[in-house]
Amino acid sequence: MSTPGRGRPRDVAADRAILQAALDAFVEHGVEGSSIEQIAKRAGVGKPTIYRRWSSKEDLIAAAMETLIAEEAGWASPEQIDVESPYELVEAAIESAAVTTTAPHYRALLARVFGSAVSHPELMAVYWDRYILPRRKLAARLLERAQECGTVADDADFDVAIDMMVGAITYRVLQPNPPDTEEMRRYLREVYRQVGLLP
């Protein structure tokens, strides 16, 4: 007699649709304004399909952030940073960074994440662990390479330098009149130059 199966295999396409619907709902309405019913309708699935995978909307939104946000490309891989010019890597990343940071969806996501930091700290924890920390490590390695090239001071505090970059860009993006892509491209170049990542 054959051994019974352990249920249907997960539908990757359905998972992806649910995660994207959850992230879109979060961006548009925040945690409080989102619901499993709303997310299920967006994804074209039934609520039981979602509850078989995630126990609450908070778990689902956290999973969406972990999966979809973490997929976005960073500056470069650690291997590239170790062998290529840090200046060329940063210069090459400016265009995509300017486009990404000026997109309305990115601006809304950033506002929602920071706005949920107190009421739903688990979401900020996911965003921090899966998105921010890996990029901080890459930025620190870039600063170290630029330090070897002489454009970053020997006694530079990398954590402070990274906070300065991220803080400046976040502040600029969340202003009432955020920059367009051309202005953000110019601004990014100046920010990176100030900390020594461009000569």
Given pLDDT bands bounded at 50, 70 and 90, which one contains residue 9? low
What residue spans define the domains of the chain? 12-68, 73-195
The whole-number pLDDT of residue 79 equals 86
What tens digit of pLDDT does each residue of 153-188 get? 999 999 999 999 999 999 999 999 999 999 999 999
What tens digit of pLDDT does each residue of 20-72 get? 999 999 999 999 999 999 999 999 999 999 999 999 999 999 999 888 887 76
What tens digit of pLDDT does each residue of 83-129 get? 899 999 999 999 999 999 999 989 999 999 999 999 999 989 988 98
pTM over 0.95: no
Fold of 73-195: Tetracycline Repressor; domain 2 (1.10.357)
HEC readout, the chain: CCCCCCCCCCCHHHHHHHHHHHHHHHHHHCCCCCCHHHHHHHHCCCHHHHHCCCCCHHHHHHHHHHHHHCCCCCCCCHHHHHHCCHHHHHHHHHHHHHHHHCCHHHHHHHHHHHHCCCCCHHHHHHHHHHHHHHHHHHHHHHHHHHHHHCCCCCCCCHHHHHHHHHHHHHHHHCCCCCCCHHHHHHHHHHHHHHHCCCC
Q: Name the average pLDDT for the chain.
A: 90
Fold of 12-68: Arc Repressor Mutant, subunit A (1.10.10)
pLDDT at 2 over 60: no
